[in-house]
Amino acid sequence: MRYLGMMLMTAMGVTSATAVQVGTDNAERDYPRQVEAWRAKRVERLAAANGWLSLIGLEWLKIGNNTIGSAKDNHIVIAKAPPHLGSILLDRDRATFSLDPRATKLVKIDGESKLGAELLDDSHEKPTLVSFGTANFYLIHRGDQFGLRIKDSAAPTRVHFRGIDNFPIDSAWRIEATWEAYNPPHEVEEGNILGQIDKVVVPGAATFERDGKTWKVEPIIENPGDTELFLVFADRTSGKETYGAARFLYADMPKDGKIVLDFNKAYNPPCAFTPYATCPLPTQQNRLDMRVTAGEKKYQGGHE
């Protein structure tokens, strides 16, 4: 009986070890498929009717009345709009849209027929959407400026989208980094391509080893209550194989002093596809003196 018990225990140990190995092997085999699935969803969002590829304009508002339409006598001219669509009255941090009576049958506000509305900007989960034909616009807030982000589902950038090139998937670029929490979180200045400076919250730093060196990046919290951290980074491929300004990466919140940075999911900012986006730039800490040969490459149909 004692011998039988030892045999059973040995068999159970072997079975357990085998199960762990099989589980590890399955995870390794599944990883490329998971990344491919993530990339497919990324392209689906990008190329959606209201995705970044549909962006056709960015117009900044002035204090006071701003008329909008396709006619040249408007302050803001949108080719796809009715000749006189309406006007936006900007009073400090409040923007109110009034529809021109001649466009009442052509324009919807949040999908409904309305004569006007106070415009919620993109700091809200659902900014107010003014739509006309295949096009629409909504209010954005950057620094002390307000502007209109204009989209069109029939935009040439969307219709002629050429797909995205990626580096080969490499599990070595799925990095488990050590997390150093800042207490209290740091507030740092982050620039964007417009030359504006925003203050962002840095909750800590992720440190990892690569090519015999130690590297540190500082992701940020975009919005209170977020369940992911956001990293804007550049590296030695930037401007060569990859988009010059930066690439983006999201990561789950740190757990047990660790954070996973999966650079296979690094992706191009909207600015790689359109000149009408307002993309953040990496802080000095997040400019890496190394080649990150993972994630998205430079978009062949884009611009610098």
How confident is residue 303, by pLDDT bands cut at 50, 70 and 90? low
- Look at residue 8 in the predicted model and tell me its pLDDT: 38
**Angstrom distance (rounded) from CA 14 to CA 5:** 14
Average of per-residue pLDDT values in the chain: 91
Does 26 score more than 70 pLDDT? no
- Look at residue 109 in the predicted model and tell me its pLDDT: 98
Give the pair of three-digit tokens for residue 204: 């800590």
User: Domains, the chain, ranges and CATH?
Assistant: 52-159 (2.60.200.20), 162-286 (no CATH)
**Angstrom distance (rounded) from CA 90 to CA 78:** 18
**Residue % of the chain over a pLDDT of 90:** 83
- Look at residue 12 in the predicted model and tell me its pLDDT: 45
Does 2 score more than 70 pLDDT? no
- Look at residue 193 in the predicted model and tell me its pLDDT: 84
**Over the range 168-203, which residues count as b (16 or more CB within 10 Å of their CB) and which as e?**
ebeeebbbebebbeeeeeeeeebebeeeeeeebebb
Does 241 score more than 70 pLDDT? yes
**Residue % of the chain over a pLDDT of 70:** 90
Does 177 score more than 80 pLDDT? yes
Does 188 score more than 50 pLDDT? yes
Question: What's the rounded mean pLDDT across residues 57-84?
Answer: 97
Give the pair of three-digit tokens for residue 126: 């659902």
**Angstrom distance (rounded) from CA 230 to CA 221:** 6
Higher-confidence position of 205 and 15: 205
- Look at residue 286 in the predicted model and tell me its pLDDT: 98
Does 182 score more than 80 pLDDT? yes
Q: Is 92 left (phi over 0), alpha (psi -120 to 50) or beta?
A: left
Pairing, β 86-91 against β 64-69: antiparallel
Write phi, then psi, for 270 (nearest 5 degrees): -55, -30
How confident is residue 3, by pLDDT bands cut at 50, 70 and 90? very low
**Angstrom distance (rounded) from CA 59 to CA 213:** 45
